[in-house]
Amino acid sequence: MQTPIRQRVASIVQKPEVKRLLTAQEIIDREDRFGGRHFKLLPVVLTRGQGVFLWDVEGKKYLDFLAGFVAVSQGHCHPRLVKTMRDQAEKLTHTSRAYYTEPLGALSEYLTNLFGWDRFIPMNTGVEAGDTALKLARRWAYRTKKIPSNRASILFAKGNFWGRSLAAVSSSTDPNCCTDFGPFMPLFDTVPYDDLKALESKFKADPNICAFMMEPIQGEAGVIVPTEGYLRGVGELCTKYNILWIADEVQTGLGRTGDRLAIDHEKQRPDILILGKALSGGMYPVSGVLADEQIVFGLETGSRGSTFAGNPIGAAVALEAVKILAEEKLAENAKNLGKILRVELEKLPKDIAREIRGRGLLAGVLVNKEIADGWDVCLRLRDAGLLSRPAHGQIIRISPPLTITEDQLREGIHILTSTVLSY
C-alpha cells in the first residue's frame, strides 16, 4: 500500500541534511534506492574525468574504454569545450527557438559545409533526431512520392537501435527493448541487416515504403559490420525504388570508425543523415539531422520543435566539438589505432574471444559464455583499471575517446587481454 503523501513529505523534511562526504557504497545505495530500475550499473562511482581517464571517489584511476556510450570522442573535459561552455554560459544559455541567436546559424553553416547537405535541423538526443528523420520521410511520402494518406510504411533493419521512445521500440527486434510496450506504431516493418536480396524483396512487395532507416555499423546490436558493398547496394536500391535512405550515424559518425562518417567507407550519400552523441563531446545533449532542401521543406512551422533544441549553449559546444574532431585529426587517429587494436585482439585465443568485430575505434570482443560471463569480465576489467560494459551480455565494447594515444591504447589492450586470459 502507498504511504499517504503528507506522511511521505514529513519523513523527507525530518531527515537531517548529510554534511559529510558519502562513501562509494552510500552513493550507490542512494541512487539505487531513489532512482528507476531500468539500468544495471557497474559498481564504480566516478567523480572526475580528463582525456581518456576517469577517477572514482576513492581516487582510483581508470582508462575509459566506453567514452559515455561513444559520446566523449573528444576526451573528458576537453579544455576547448570547457572554455566554450563556460564562455557561452556567462553570456546566454537559452532563449527557445522563438528568437534568433548567433551560435545555431554558425553550427548549421559549419555542418552543412562540412558534410555537404543543404540544411541541418537540431535536436537534443539521438532518438529525437531519429524521430525527426522519420517525420521528414512521412511528409516527403505524402507530398512528393504521393503515397495515399496514412499509408506510408517505413522499413528498419533487424537488430536496429535508435533509442527507447515508443516510436523507436516499435521498430525494435530486441525483446528487452519492446516487450510489453505495445501497441506499436503501425506500418513499421523490419528486414534482415546486411541482406540486399531481402531488402529488394521488401521494396518490390510494398510500393508504400517511403524510407529505409539503418546504421552503417550496428552498434548496440553488438558492433555488427556489414559486408563490403552493402552500403552501396542500399544506396542503389533506395534510388531504384524511390525510397529515402536514412543513415543513423548517432554512434558511428564523426570519426568513430576511422572515417568522417561510416558511410564514407563506401563513399555513399544517404538522403537523410542522423547525428548525435559525439556531436557535443558529451558536454551537452545535441543531435540533429542533415538533409537536402527538397526533403527539409516538408517540415514547416509548427510541425517539429523542442524547447531546448538549437539553444546557444548546445550549438556553441557542438560547433567547437566538431572543429576539435577535424583539427585534432581524430578520425585519422581512430583509423590508425583501430588497426593496431584489431591486430592485437585477434591474437586472443578463439575459444575465449570468439569474435573480434568493428572498425576504427568502435569494436567488440565476443566472449565465450561457457568460459566467462561478460558482466564478470567487466568487473575484472574495472579492478584492473579499465572501464567498459558488455552489449547483449557477452560483447565487451571497446570505444575509447578518439584522443587516445598509441601508448594508452596498448595499455588498455594489455589490461583487456590479460583479463580475458585470466579465465
Ligand X SMILES: Cc1ncc(COP(=O)(O)O)c(C=O)c1O
Active site positions, annotated: 161, 248, 277
* Residue number, 108 or 125, with CB nearest to ligand X: 125
**Is 250 a residue that touches ligand X (CB under 6 A)?**
yes
* Residue number, 263 or 415, with CB nearest to ligand X: 263
**Is 130 a residue that touches ligand X (CB under 6 A)?**
yes
Shortest reach from residue 322's CB to ligand X, in Å = 17
- Look at residue 38 and give its three-state secondary structure: coil
Nearest to 383 by CA among 50, 44, 51: 44
Give the Cα separation of 416 and 390 in Å (integer).
Answer: 13
* Residue number, 353 or 374, with CB nearest to ligand X: 374
Which of 72, 111, 127, 155: binder of ligand X (CB under 6 A)? 127
Give the Cα separation of 355 and 345 in Å (integer).
Answer: 9
Shortest reach from residue 130's CB to ligand X, in Å = 6
**Is 399 a residue that touches ligand X (CB under 6 A)?**
no
Which of 74, 84, 108, 125: binder of ligand X (CB under 6 A)? 125
* Residue number, 159 or 374, with CB nearest to ligand X: 159
Mask for 58-77, x = binds ligand X (CB under 6 A): -----------x--------
**Is 161 a residue that touches ligand X (CB under 6 A)?**
yes
Mask for 251-280, x = binds ligand X (CB under 6 A): x------------------------x----
**Is 395 a residue that touches ligand X (CB under 6 A)?**
no
C-alpha separations of 259 from 100, 115, 167, 344 in Å: 33, 12, 30, 21
Per DSSP, the residues of 75-129 read -BT-HHHHHHHHHHHHH-----TTS--HHHHHHHHHHHHHHT-SEEEEESSHHHH
**Is 248 a residue that touches ligand X (CB under 6 A)?**
yes
Give the Cα separation of 208 and 137 in Å (integer).
Answer: 12
Per DSSP, the residues of 349-365 read -TTTEEEEEEETTEEEE
Q: Which amino acid is present at 212?
A: F
Burial per residue of 19-57, b for 16 or more beta-carbon CB atoms within 10 angstroms, e otherwise: eeeeebeeeeeeeeeeeeeeeeeeebbbeebebbbbebb
**Is 162 a residue that touches ligand X (CB under 6 A)?**
yes
Shortest reach from residue 276's CB to ligand X, in Å = 5
Give the Cα separation of 60 and 54 in Å (integer).
Answer: 8
Nearest to 154 by CA among 144, 174, 168, 166: 168
* Residue number, 252 or 419, with CB nearest to ligand X: 252
* Residue number, 76 or 277, with CB nearest to ligand X: 277
Interface segment toward ligand X; rule CB under 6 A; list 95-103, 111-119, 160-168, 228-236: 160-168
Give the Cα separation of 220 and 155 in Å (integer).
Answer: 18
C-alpha separations of 14 from 7, 8, 17, 21 in Å: 11, 10, 9, 20
Interface segment toward ligand X; rule CB under 6 A; list 22-30, 119-127, 237-245, 408-416: 119-127
Interface segment toward ligand X; rule CB under 6 A; list 94-102, 157-165, 321-329, 397-405: 157-165
Under the rule (CB under 6 A), what is the footprint of ligand X? 69, 125-127, 130, 161-163, 215, 219-220, 248, 250-251, 276
